[in-house]
Amino acid sequence: MKLTRIAKVAIATAAAAGLAVSTLTPANSATRSTVVLVTSNQLTGLNPSVTNMNLTFNSEVAYMQSFGFNYYDSSPKLVENKLFGSYKIVSQKPFKVQYTVNKGKVWSDGTPITGVDLLLSHVICSSSYSFAAKLGDPTDNAVRPAFDALCYGGKYDSHHVGLPTLSADKMTVTIEYDAKIPDWDITGPGPSAVHTLVHLAEGKTGLQSAAANLAAKAKFEKAFYDYNTKLMKAAGDIWSKAYNITTVDESTNPLLLVGNGGYIIKSAITGQSVTLVLNKRHVTNPSGPKTSGVKTVVFRVVGDGTAAAQALRNQEVDIYQGQPTADSVKILSEIPTAKIIGGDQAVYEHIDLKAGTANGISEPYTGPFAGDSQKARDLRTAFLMAYPRDEIVDKLIKPINPKAVRMDSVLLLPGEPGYEDLVKNSGVSKYTKGSQSEREAAALALVRKHSATDVKINMLWGQPSNARRASEAQIAKAALARAGFDLNAPGRSGWSSYLDSSEYDAQFFAWVKSAITQEGNTDIFYSDGGNNLVGYKNKTVDKAVELLRGTLLSEKDKLAQYLIVEKELMKDAITLPIFQHPGVTAVNKKLQNVKPNPLSPQLVWNYWEWKYSK
Amino acid sequence: MFSYVLRRLGALIVILFGSSFLLYNLSAISTDPLEDLRLSDAQNRDYLIQALTRELRLDLPPPLRYFIWLRGVLGVFVGNPNFGLTREQQPVVEAIVDAIPTTIRLVAVATIVAIVLGIALGITSALRQYSRFDYGMTFFAFLLFSLPIFWVAVLLKQYLAIDFNDFLVNAKISPPWIIGLSTVTGFFWATMISGSRKRVLTIFAGAFLANSIFLSFISATEWLSYPRLGPIAIAILGVGIALGVTYLSVGLSDRNAVKSTLCMALIGTILYFPAQTLLDSSRPRVGILLLLIALLISGVAVSFLFSRIDRGPVIRTSIITSVLIWGLILIDQMMQAWRPFVESDDVNYRPVATIGQSTIWLSDVSFWVRVLDFAMHLVLPTLALTLISFAGYVRFSRGTLLDVLNQDYIRTARAKGLTERTVVMRHAFRNTMIPLTTIMVGDVAGIVGGAIITERVFAWQGMGTLFNKAINSFDLNLLMGVILFLSTLAILANLIADLLYSALDPRIRVGAGK
């Protein structure tokens, strides 16, 4: 016993004395060249155009590897990418549009990008091509066509006429549509490295020579116009399956990784990370490669918000975008090495009232809000009047985003052009004038006109574990009780499958906007619309929606139609928006030009502008 | 015995069937996999809903879907199992096989450290029953026992990663810190060794002083920024290891053992020099192995040289010593990789990591930098898991040892005049290990499945993350795959524990009483 003690003390002292003295130089860090982003999702495939692969994160990774005709900026607004090419309407009747690729653009393997690379878009979007080339029936769910593509059944599929034609220099593609369709600019083609698809279909396992690449491209062009079933089927098989990989390493076929974006995947570990490195051949600017010093972009999968915040504080990650709560915003704002960029998501919370039986539901809705009678209309109006939207925004959203405002239009988001006018004229003022208590009193009077007792209302929301939704329901219950409604709103898990159920009279949830189109979200109120969950039927609205859907309108005409729809909605007391979901992005203070975009590809839309300050 | 095992395996199948049926149906009715699609405004929404409905067979009621799944699983018996695909179209078996090594890496080190440390402290605590040390250990054991891992993780990340990385930029330890840390160390040794008041004070003062000198030295030389052991430190630590191992193993009175282990410390120090080129070569793994072989051979040779009779214990002691010295040389090699590691653009002067298994994009670096990177990612999760799980081992080994020490055969051993070391290490400790073994086996099964929270807070992608993901993305195939794997493991571990118990303890027979 004694000996060990002495031994221990001796060891400790001697070890201290025995340590070698090292040279002294202060640590100093150079400018970083790596950007690490946190993602809560994992990569499931490299080709987001395949049916099951269209996840936000797959699209973000794909976006960084491709450079197309347009993108959404952070406004969000569609921007024509003049650095890649241009597009224009060349004929009104028949309606023809033309896409031209700029000269000098190359894929990461050096092959020039031409109009031939735009032809694949037709193959993956056109059902008629699939039939003509015997590639299978895109509407058959049991046996998928050769190209298991997401694009079938979309606007391009239903409106294009014939095959796209190539110009003599093969840099321009012209597409004809059967009508002057709205949103033709986002319906058009994008570049795909067709020569790699041909190589892969032929079983090649490595990058090929420049001559072989050009030959493969010519082969694709010929096969495309000849409806060559054999080659197209093999290409389709590759296109639908070979890209569905989650691991990328040295053994991955490099043909799968050819792109034309600023960065190219170098490695991916299933469920963990995706690493992209600078594409040396990417030319975003005619004068030469324009990059800002970021050589590597890494996506790391981190599921836990606190872990991500601490990793940001420890400077292991540079960008974190998360589900904001008042607490998480506070934690993030206290990180000295990071800055917070607020902003809104393209997701908005709203309250819907059932007006009738939803499409495809057998059990009829017979609740207090059913039908077009004066009573039902008054009750709906009273309900929306008393709905405490201001209180919800003030108590639940402002602590997260101090700039948050109450939404007053369901078709436009606050800040979008035309929003102010729409709100002024739509009749939403019925639900906004006066104070909350005045509105409650007015609502109570309306209710008492028809019912001496409180009206029982079943309201649907979910998940019960969502704290914000639970608070919303609580606030609503209290306010509506003062307006003569007895709200039964316990929250329901699996709620989304009950949205069209006749069990409920009201429901609040959020719609997600995935693109900016002329039709917008008017489909929700179309009598036969797939998203019409409240059984709302209104001929005036239907007419406006059909117009918006079928014909390209000027901005002014579009807003006029929006006003018609919105006026009817307010008159019939069907729905009211509440707030836009707040977003929070925390970024390494030294990293410049990170601008969150509410639409996909969200954060990475301007990756070429990212740079570190000294 | 055979029929007992068969009976248990039969029960296994019944339990697996019942639990999987119940869990399948409960999970199937709990969420709506179409939720995202229902709320989307995508143009082909109806088509997507149809496709997913078809893919997941949502048109069928859950019990029917269960039997479709079960048919695939029962293929195990005809050699053609089908556990289905995950939502990402990856075979479930593949996903699980990918995740297991990660989980094992995470829990293995933590479990071993927890067991070794827990047993050591538990035994010390039992030997000093009702002393200050014992009460202190009891207090800490219960404190750690009651801490939730996610909270421990947050604290560890804040203090040992974020703050420590900030500190490492300068790596100067301020005097208040030196005094504080030395006081804590002093208290630890004083209470652990304990004795008369004078003795306690002496130990406290000694430990305090030694620690202060040590820390001041580290601070002054910026050793934390430029860590290195070097031959001198290896020699000194080697001597310490030699004496310590000999004491615990055969006692310092065995002069032959002392001589051979000390000789090993000397050989280790000499081997340090050729080891440098060996380990830095293009094939470091071969170097590591060669060094170990060299040390083991010399260990055996030295024991033969110094001992004539009863060579077994001496050889054993020398081998343990050589393995530990081998570890020292490897640690030194990792320390030499510290600067290139810390200075690389990817690590950027933040060596202690809070998330992930490695700095994935680290490329073109030496073997040792990569090893160091793995180690730095392992530090916090291992520490967190160790902290919360070792408390149980402390309490358990303390209780068991006290139990054993009161047995008659211990009194007999003492009466025979055996030394206290022999009584404790040979007679008592070995019997303490019997119940502990069965606990360890059960724990390992529990830990593989139970690292869900740890994996989440440290962003590791193992079994726990898989389980979590399966729940959140309504991936029934994956969920059932994980559950099936874990429940099989748990039931088998229980069986093994029972069998092991009967093998270790002749007083117990399985299947008896029937």
Q: Residue A303's pLDDT is what?
A: 82
Q: Mutation test of the interface with chain A: which of B35, B88, B172, B189, choosing the one with the most A Cβ atoms within 10 A?
A: B88
Per DSSP bridges, beta strands A296-301 and A575-582 are unpaired
B143 and B205, same domain (yes or no): no
**Cβ proximity of A305 and A312 under 8 Å:** no
Cβ separation of A5 and B349 shorter than 8 Å?
Answer: no
pLDDT band with cut points at 50, 70 and 90 for residue B419 = confident
Q: Residue A465's pLDDT is what?
A: 82
Q: Is residue B292's pLDDT more than 70?
A: yes
Q: Residue A22's pLDDT is what?
A: 32
**Cβ proximity of B369 and B337 under 8 Å:** yes
User: How many distinct structural domains can be found in chain B?
Assistant: 2
Per DSSP bridges, beta strands A34-39 and A70-72 are unpaired
Name the average pLDDT for chain A: 88
Task: Provide the phi-psi class of A32: left if phi over 0, else alpha when psi is between -120 and 50, else beta.
Answer: beta
B249 and B337, same domain (yes or no): yes
Q: Residue A216's pLDDT is what?
A: 96
Q: Is residue A315's pLDDT more than 50?
A: yes
User: How large is the average pLDDT for residues B370-388?
Assistant: 90
Q: Residue B253's pLDDT is what?
A: 85
Q: Residue A4's pLDDT is what?
A: 47
Q: Is residue A20's pLDDT more than 80?
A: no
Beta-bridged to residue A50, according to DSSP, are A149
**Cβ proximity of A509 and A349 under 8 Å:** yes
> Tokens 């998928």 correspond to what residue?
A144
pLDDT digits (tens, 9 = 90+) for A149-188: 888 888 899 999 999 999 999 999 999 999 999 999 989 8
Q: Answer whether residue B389 is part of any domain.
A: yes
pLDDT digits (tens, 9 = 90+) for A48-71: 998 878 778 899 999 999 989 999
Cβ separation of B42 and A514 shorter than 8 Å?
Answer: yes
Q: Residue A17's pLDDT is what?
A: 41
pLDDT digits (tens, 9 = 90+) for A365-418: 999 999 889 999 999 999 999 999 999 999 999 988 888 999 999 999 888 889
Q: Residue B363's pLDDT is what?
A: 67
B212 and B355, same domain (yes or no): no
Look up residue A590 and give its two tokens: 């030294």
Domain boundary, last residue among B221, B254, B279: B221
pLDDT digits (tens, 9 = 90+) for A444-473: 999 999 999 999 999 999 888 888 999 999
CB pairs under 8 A between A and B: 232
> Tokens 């219950």 correspond to what residue?
A477
Cβ separation of B457 and A307 shorter than 8 Å?
Answer: yes
B134 and B197, same domain (yes or no): no
Q: Is residue A3's pLDDT more than 70?
A: no
Which residue of chain B comes nearest to A268, CA vs CA?
A: B360
B161 and B188, same domain (yes or no): no
pLDDT band with cut points at 50, 70 and 90 for residue B450 = low
**Cβ proximity of A315 and A588 under 8 Å:** yes
Domain boundary, last residue among B398, B414, B446: B446
Cβ separation of A153 and B213 shorter than 8 Å?
Answer: no
Q: Residue B41's pLDDT is what?
A: 66
Q: Answer whether residue B29 is part of any domain.
A: no
Side chain identity at A361, as an amino acid letter? I
pLDDT digits (tens, 9 = 90+) for B183-237: 999 988 888 777 788 988 999 999 999 999 999 998 988 888 889 888 999 999 9
DSSP code for B162: I
Cβ separation of A19 and B350 shorter than 8 Å?
Answer: no
Task: Provide the phi-psi class of A494: left if phi over 0, else alpha when psi is between -120 and 50, else beta.
Answer: left
Distance (Å) from the C-alpha of residue A498 to the closest C-alpha of chain B?
A: 10
Q: Is residue B75's pLDDT more than 90?
A: no
Which residue of chain A comes nearest to B241, CA vs CA?
A: A11
Q: Is residue B42's pLDDT more than 70?
A: no
Q: Answer whether residue B356 is part of any domain.
A: yes
Q: Is residue A12's pLDDT more than 50?
A: no
Q: Answer whether residue B75 is part of any domain.
A: no
Domain boundary, last residue among B221, B250, B284: B221
Q: Residue B52's pLDDT is what?
A: 80
Cβ separation of B468 and A15 shorter than 8 Å?
Answer: no
Q: Residue B364's pLDDT is what?
A: 67
Which residue of chain A comes nearest to B453, CA vs CA?
A: A304
User: How large is the average pLDDT for residues B77-91?
Assistant: 81
Q: How far is CA A280 from CA A263, A290, A292, A314, in A?
A: 8, 10, 13, 31
User: Residue A570, exposed/middle/buried by CB under 10 A (0-12, 13-18, 19+)?
Assistant: buried
User: How large is the average pLDDT for residues A285-305?
Assistant: 75
Q: Is residue A551's pLDDT more than 70?
A: yes
Answer with the residue of higher pLDDT: B505 or A577: A577
Q: Is residue A28's pLDDT more than 70?
A: no
B119 and B199, same domain (yes or no): no
User: How large is the average pLDDT for residues B465-474?
Assistant: 85
Q: Residue B84's pLDDT is what?
A: 84
ipTM score here? 0.84
**Cβ proximity of A291 and A261 under 8 Å:** no
User: Residue B328, exposed/middle/buried by CB under 10 A (0-12, 13-18, 19+)?
Assistant: buried
Cβ separation of A22 and B31 shorter than 8 Å?
Answer: no
pLDDT band with cut points at 50, 70 and 90 for residue A288 = very low
Q: Answer whether residue B484 is part of any domain.
A: no
**Cβ proximity of A539 and A511 under 8 Å:** no
Which residue of chain A comes nearest to B94, CA vs CA?
A: A270
Domain span holding position B344: 97-171+222-446
Q: Is residue A8's pLDDT more than 60?
A: no
CB-nearest partner of A27 from B54, B169, B221:
B169
B199 and B321, same domain (yes or no): no
Task: Find the largest Cα–Cα distance for chain B.
Answer: 89
B155 and B256, same domain (yes or no): yes
B256 and B267, same domain (yes or no): yes
Cβ separation of B39 and A511 shorter than 8 Å?
Answer: yes
How far separated are the first and last CA of chain B, in Å rounded? Answer: 11
Q: Answer whether residue B346 is part of any domain.
A: yes
Which spans in B337-416 are helix H? 338-343, 367-405, 408-415
Cβ separation of B247 and A154 shorter than 8 Å?
Answer: no
% chain A with pLDDT above 70: 93
User: How large is the average pLDDT for residues A114-126?
Assistant: 95
CA dist., res. A516 & res. A505, Å (int)? 30
Answer with the residue of higher pLDDT: B306 or A239: A239
Q: Answer whether residue B340 is part of any domain.
A: yes
B116 and B186, same domain (yes or no): no
Q: Which residues of A touch B88 (CB under 8 A)?
A: 42, 44-45, 52, 244, 246
Give the HSE-up count for residue A330: Cα atoms under 13 Å, Cβ half-sphere: 5
Q: How far is CA A281 from CA A190, A262, A500, B374, in A?
A: 19, 8, 51, 34
The total of other beta-carbon atoms located within 10 Å of residue B298's CB is 20
CB-nearest partner of A275 from B42, B88, B360:
B360
Q: Is residue A1's pLDDT more than 50?
A: no
Q: Answer whether residue B345 is part of any domain.
A: yes
Q: Which residues of B touch A265 (CB under 8 A)?
A: none
Look up residue B88 and give its two tokens: 């990402």
Q: Is residue B180's pLDDT more than 90?
A: yes
Which residue of chain B comes nearest to A524, CA vs CA?
A: B41
B330 and B435, same domain (yes or no): yes
B205 and B322, same domain (yes or no): no
Q: Which residues of B touch A267 (CB under 8 A)?
A: 360-361
